[in-house]
Structure 1
Amino acid sequence: MAKWKKWIIENKAAVWLLVLAITLIWGYAWVTMKAALEYMGPFAFSSFRFGTGAVTLLLVVWIMKIGLPPKEYWKHLVIVGILQTAIVFLLVMYGLTFVDAGKSSVLLYSMPMFSSLLAVKFLGEKLTPAKLIGLTIGMIGLLTIMGWDIWIGQPAEVILGEVLIVIGALSWAVSNTYFRLHVQDLPKIQSSAFQMLFGSIAIIIASLFLESQPIVWNAELIYYILFTGVLASALCFTVWFIIMSRLDMVSATISTLLVPIFGLAFSSVLLGETMTIGVLTGSAMIIIGIIIATVRWKNPRVQ
């Protein structure tokens, strides 16, 4: 384990491989989240997903004998858990009942815009010209993917769902900043496990009051819970904390713009959602934006 961690720390290419891996998993997770709503309500699914993720991580913490976090970190882990796990996914899963999986992923990944602004304000990071240009192109790409129907011709419940998902994106951005300020020094598996535990408790409490849809248990639903709980939650959010510790906030969050591209592709193939010229054009703009924002340029003033 120590050699693996040292390799990640010293090899920046490894960090970008991790970025690619988690964005691919998160992209596919949108399909499983949407499909799971056929068998279970959004709040109950979030409870099972993050409950499974928390139990998985706590078992790893126990096996590795990492122990409990110091007492002074508990309140910070509660706040991160509520912001990143509870608020984000309660809003996202409810929004998914009205909004297509592909477009939902696009809306949530407006998060880099909010994260970049917060990083400049509270973390003292510089929004260099290259990063600003890359972020702008990426966000225009997101709007291109959304198309004009985000503004006109939509039922009220779809607009509500989209607004809730954007609020979830803002909550995730605040969580990223708060993590960097207060939790970054903890072991990443430990911080991921306990923030997810506290977030899961909040989701379960909300589910007891808000959920009314009956659960239809079958092998397909169990697969969705295990995939999103173990891989998309326990594994990916631990890796996400590692990435945020290795890259500056702006570069790390801009890289997640790959998620809606994968989400749209998987949704098109597996759910039959429409892949239009606007989607393809917007996806190309996102990739160009990521390259501009993250490649180191020779001129030191725009690195």
Structure 2
Amino acid sequence: MNATRNRPEVLATGAAVVTVLLWASAFVAIRRAGEAYSPGALALGRLASGALALGVIWAIRREGLPPREAWRGILLSGVLWFGFYMVVLNWGEQQVDAGTAALVVNVGPLLIALLGTRLLGDPMPPRLLAGMAVSFAGAVTVGLSMSGGGGNSLLGVVLCLLAAVAYAGGVVAQKPALGHGSPLQVTTFGCLVGAVGCLPFAGQLVHQAAHAPLPATLDMLYLGVFPTALAFTTWAYALARRTASRMGATTYAVPGLVVLMSWLVLGEVPGVLTLAGGVLCLAGVAVSRSQAGGSRVVRVAAGERPRSEKAG
């Protein structure tokens, strides 16, 4: 009985884990593909391949068009998150070093928490706030340790900040849509909206794909199929079952995982400060996710029996 009751939570947790792992890997792939593709072309190539993969699965599953009530959130998240966010993030990462980009973009989960509380009525328990504070401190540590102090521009910082705002707005817009459409419907059509918005970069994509080395093009296709098609779908699945604030806090695991993946894949050996920041990011996520268990302990200590005991 308990196993059946906990199954949705286990599945949502698994979906969130898949999402953060694939999104962390995206930063590595973006850095490699960005050497051959411009920001707009890379975003369009990623979204087009992602929309194609999602479209095939959507057609096989025969889920049909999303309900009319879901379209507002789909359009907003498609424009803000799938389209605008990806272009300005790619552009911003060419203007500032990786540390500065990571530092500024990680304002996003804080904005999600604020917007989620204001617009969606998300609760803000103390453990979630504490976990986000620890993770943000870790993101700041990672950013400062990786910042080279050179090559940064005000334009790049503004672009990364715009990316964070678009990310937060897209997540908050997507949440209500998931109350009407399935995760696959919302993700598929959101990705398609983003791809259509990036069509002005089609000429750049065709020209650059003809001259790009094969590994860069494979990285772009990887970004479309896995960090976009798969990870955005698992994200939507988890978001449909959790608050936007809690899901935003979960993404603070990404900087810590990026540090590890850059070490393993790119051979970029992190310094002690970078490692410490990555550990803080992961620790903060653990604290924020412990809220349910902590709340249960508080209820039991107050004399309230668990639900399973009451049912007996």
Q: 1:156, 1:218 → 2: CA distance?
A: 27
User: What is the CA distance between 1:105 and its match in structure 2?
Assistant: 4.2
User: Structure 1's 57 and 100: CA in aligned 2 closer, same or farther, altered over 3 A?
Assistant: same
- The letter for the 2-side match of 1:137 is V
Structure 1 residues 103 and 271, CA, compared in 2 at 3 Å: closer, same or farther?
Answer: farther
**More off after superposition, 216-225 vs 241-250:** 216-225
Equivalent in the alignment of 2:306: none
1:136 corresponds, among 89, 111, 133, to 133
Q: Which residue of 1 aligns with 2:196?
A: 201
Rg comparison, structure with higher value: 2
Q: CA RMSD in A?
A: 2.6
Alpha-carbon distance, 1:168 to partner: 0.8
1:299 aligns with 2:311: no
Match of 1:37 in 2: 34
* Superimposed CA distance per residue, residues 107-136 of structure 1 (whole angstroms, 9 cap, x where no aligned partner): 433321111111111111221111111111
Partner of 2:168: 173
> 1:180 Cα deviation (Å)?
1.7
Residues 2-151 of structure 1: matches in 2 within 5 Å?
10-101=7-98, 104-147=101-144
Task: Describe the shift of the 1:86–1:22 C-alpha distance in structure 2 as closer, same or farther (beyond 3 A).
Answer: same
| Offset at residue 10 of structure 1 (A) | 3.0
Shift of 1:201: 0.8
Q: 1:154-233 residue pairs with structure 2 within 5 A?
A: 154-157=150-153, 159-205=154-200, 207=201, 214-215=208-209, 216-233=211-228
Does structure 2 retain, via aligned residues, the 8 Å contact 1:105–1:263? no
Change (3 A) 1:124 1:250: same
Native 8 Å contact 1:31 1:101 kept in 2: no
Give the conservation status (yes or no) of the 8 Å contact 2:255–2:281: no
Deviation at 1:8, TM superposition (A): 11
Deviates more, 1:232-241 or 1:109-118: 109-118
Deviates more, 1:122-131 or 1:139-148: 139-148
Counterparts of 1:114 and 1:179, CA distance in 2 = 15
Instruction: Give the unaligned 5+ runs of structure 2.
Output: 301-312
- Deviation digits for residues 209-259 of structure 1, max 9, x if unmatched? 988984423331232122110111011101101111112222211111111
Matched, 1:267 2:262: yes
Kindly tell me the number of residue pairs found equivalent between the two proteins.
292
Alpha-carbon deviations, 1:276-303, whole Å to 9, x = none? 22211211222221122111211249xx
Residue type of the alignment partner of 1:241: A
Which whole-Å deviations, capped at 9, do the CAs of 1:5-35 have from their partners, x for residues lacking one?
xx89833223222222221111111111110
Change (3 A) 1:21 1:211: closer
Task: Tell me how far apart the structure 2 counterparts of residues 277 and 167 of structure 1 sit (CA, whole Å).
Answer: 30
What is the TM-score normalised by the length of structure 2?
0.84
1:52/1:229 contact within 8 Å kept: yes
User: Residue 100 of structure 2 contacts residue 143 of structure 2 at CA under 8 Å; is this kept in 1?
Assistant: yes
CA shift in 2, pair 1:36/1:289, >3 Å:
same
Q: Which residue in the other structure is 1:4 paired with?
A: none
Q: Distance in 2 between matches of 1:148 and 1:57?
A: 38
Task: Specify the SS of the correspondent of 2:62.
Answer: coil
Contact 2:98/2:143 (8 A) holds in 1: no
Which amino acid letter does the alignment assign opposite residue 16 of structure 1? T
Aligned mates of 2:251, 2:146 — CA distance in 1: 24
Question: Once superposed, which parts of structure 1, at least 4 consecutive aligned residues long, lie more than 4 Å away?
Answer: 100-103, 208-213
Kept in 2, the 8 Å contact 1:30–1:101? The answer is no
Relative to 1, partners in 2 of residues 1:73 and 1:129: Cα closer, same or farther, differing over 3 Å? closer
User: Which SS does the other structure have where 1:147 is aligned?
Assistant: helix
**In the alignment, structure 1 residue 249 sits paired with structure 2 residue 244:** yes
Check the 8 A contact 1:102/1:263 in 2, yes or no: no
**Structure 1, 70-79 or 29-38: larger mean CA deviation:** 70-79
Q: Distance in 2 between matches of 1:120 and 1:75?
A: 20
Report Cα offsets for 1:251-273 as digits up to 9, x if no partner: 21111111111112222333344
Letter in 1 for 2:120: L
Distance in 2 (alpha carbons) for counterparts of 1:261 and 1:166: 20
